[in-house]
Amino acid sequence: MTSLYHIAIHSYGLLIHIAAFFSSKAKLWIQGRKQLWTQVQDQIKAGEERVWFHCASLGEFEQARPLIEAYRVAHPHQKIVLTFFSPSGYEIRKHYQGVDYVFYLPLDTPSNAKKWLQAIQPQKVFFIKYEFWRNILYQLHQQQIPTYLVAGTFREKQVFFKWYGGFFKQILSYFTHLFVQNQQSLQLLQKHQIKHCTYAPDTRFDRVFQTAQTAPTLPFIEQFKNNKQLLVLGSSWPADEALFAQLFPQVPPNYKLLIAPHEINEAHLQQIEQLWQGQCIRYSVGTKKAALLQEQPILIIDNIGMLSTIYQYSDITYIGGGFGVGIHNILEAAIFGMPLLFGPNYHKFQEAKDLIQKKAAFSIKDIEELQKIITTLQEDSQLYQTASSQAQQYVQNHTGGTQLILQYIAHRLI
């Protein structure tokens, strides 16, 4: 099985090189790693104590961020290395000031794993949520470097727990400790005789709570909203936008619609504008034309990084991705207290299931259900208030994972 894994890793690298001819993201993946070893050699300094955090992409970085920042406060003498697998994480956070080094993760071949650890020589390692790179984890285990999984989540259908999944289950044994974000994951691991695990609330709760506490006011949003009801489409995909175009071919006078697309490129922005011809204004234009910003019913956010702050102005929030691979971050909106809507593909996300149970969130599968829930929220003030308060309380009640992890590590003295 080990040989098959190595073949699969090399094949993956080859496919990425082929895909780079057609995909800008794959091209960035290749280009970003071309000078990796030179960058590491030029930047890493001898004699430092280092800790390494690895995130697959931007979402995992947001989970890691409160832990990174708290770790830095607790261990100011240690240098922090941050790595990403995906360009969407690296390109946006390569200048993040909360760490000392930011690199791409090399492809998980046996030689790369040895070379990487020799280069950065971490004293501790944190993998965030996903990404179980066997060769790197094996080397960390062999070298007895404490390695932690943070915000892990596991399901019975995963390959670790299949009758043929022994190879993958063994990878979990290479971690010093697994911090999982729900009781179901903890019980599943223990059921399969994986005992080195602890429940710790998802560190994203700490991150979104911090964001809400320090959220700046956004005068341009206040100007756009203009004392009307604001419906925010956060991290939307074309399927989400098309649904709302059916619901609101003309935005009602008492509503404003704000769209923050997940993919920001000219083709997608134009596609949104075509759905609501003559009703849209882009953020990049509206901030320069105040009168037009007030008049237009739809604002398109054509940059990255503002959405988590924008949510504070939302009256109802729809989170995109639920008609595709899965919904995006709903906690960023929930902390500000409003009803949450999303598509049917949410079952991999514990927070979505919890919020539905608390009647703070609602899943819709078609235009009829969308129309019904928005109308109900308009007409039933008690339901609206309950949903809003339950959403905010849910986040507040699940903070503390960061400190729990740091305390555990400190008490273990490793």
Distance CA 286, CA 304 (A): 16
Q: Give me the chain's average pLDDT, please.
A: 93
Residues in the chain: 414
End-to-end CA distance of the chain: 32
Q: Which string of DSSP letters, residue by residue, matches 157-206?
A: TSGGGSTT-HHHHHHHTTSSEEEESSHHHHHHHHHTT--SEEE---HHHH
List the one residue out of 34, 39, 44, 55 whose CA is nearest residue 122.
44
Provide mean pLDDT across the span 273-282.
94
Pair 370, 350: CB distance under 8 Å: no
User: Which residue type, as a one-letter code, is found at position 50?
Assistant: R
Is it the case that residue 299 has pLDDT exceeding 60? yes
Q: Note the pLDDT tens digit of each residue in 181-217.
A: 989 999 999 999 999 999 999 999 998 998 899 999 9
pLDDT over 90 (residue 259): yes
Summarize the confidence of residues 60-83 as an average pLDDT: 95
Dist CA 292 CA 31 (whole Å): 41
The mean per-residue pLDDT over the stretch 279-296 comes to: 84
pLDDT for residue 225 is more than 80? yes
What percentage of the chain carries pLDDT values higher than 90? 82
Strands 101-104 and 280-282 turn out to be unpaired
The pLDDT value recorded for residue 325 is: 87
At 151 the three-state DSSP class reads strand
Distance (Å, whole) CA 189 – CA 196: 9
> Residues 360-376, buried b or exposed e (16+ Cβ, 10 A)?
bbbbbeeeeebeebbee
- Cβ neighbours around 380 below 10 Å, total: 12
DSSP state of 322: T
Go through the domains of the chain in sequence order and give each one's CATH number: 2-7+45-201+400-412 (3.40.50.11720), 211-396 (3.40.50.2000)
Tens of pLDDT, residues 113-159 = 999 999 999 999 999 998 899 999 999 999 999 999 999 999 999 99
Q: Does the structure show a pLDDT above 70 at 87?
A: yes
In angstroms, rounded to a whole number, what is the distance separating the alpha carbons of residues 79 and 2? 33
Give the distance from CA 270 to its chain's centroid: 26
Question: Looking at the predicted structure, is the pLDDT value of residue 414 above 60?
Answer: no
Q: How would residue 101 be classed by pLDDT, with cut points 50, 70 and 90?
A: very high
Sheet of strand 361-363: strand arrangement: 280-282, 298-300, 255-261, 229-236, 316-319, 340-342, 361-363
Cα–chain center distance at 90: 13
